[in-house]
Chains A and B, each alone.
Chain A
Amino acid sequence: AQKITQTQPGMFVQEKEAVTLDCTYDTSDPSYGLFWYKQPSSGEMIFLIYQGSYDQQNATEGRYSLNFQKARKSANLVISASQLGDSAMYFCAMVRTGANNLFFGTGTRLTVIP
């Protein structure tokens, strides 16, 4: 069984500040992948960042970084220098080895305040 928990239904951040969106997961598989996707009001899911369970270093993609703590089973997304365009829903998701689908959390709505 697998589970993704995003405990923050909504978050606010001041423009140009950094924000951390929490994600914890549960799986008994040794090999898995963790993703973050952004969903603006248009509905399209946009890939942000990926972390493999065996990756030694935390993933980074531009202003996005992933704080991966394997022992705690957490994969928090850090957005630096927030912009107004970052306002959206953010979903954490996981893929297990042998599975062929993303398993999503319930999401966090981020609002960037000017």
Chain B
Amino acid sequence: ETGVTQSPTHLIKTRGQQVTLRCSSQSGHNTVSWYQQALGQGPQFIFQYYREEENGRGNFPPRFSGLQFPNYSSELNVNALELDDSALYLCASSPRAPDINEKLFFGSGTQLSVL
């Protein structure tokens, strides 16, 4: 148990729609990151929030956006869904500022299917 919960576990959307994925981190975890894991691939970094401010972004278009709230919850929003957005979306948190030795605590992910 990592103490990171994600909802929903599964989601089906159609192309062009918008989706919001949610994550609840452990109390005191000031850093949250989101990753996209396509089938058969390793996770790819989408973006990170530290104390409610965006603190880095991977190679994803602006239609991927996020928020982090004071209660250690966060959201990933994806607009104008495309078929290639079908993937497992993982949320990960940690108690401290990002560092090279900082262990991440992952949730079980949201499986998004875009039809």
Contacts and interface: CB of A to CB of B under 8 A. Distances in A.
B100 A96 contact: yes
B68 interface: no
B90 A43 contact: yes
Interface of A: 4, 31-33, 35, 37, 42-47, 50, 52, 91, 93, 95-97, 99-107
Interface in B28-52: 33, 35, 40-45, 48, 50
Interface residues of B, number: 29
Nearest to A45: B106
B66 interface: no
Interface in B44-86: 44-45, 48, 50, 55-56, 58
Given A43-B90, A52-B100, A107-B42, A101 B106 contact: no
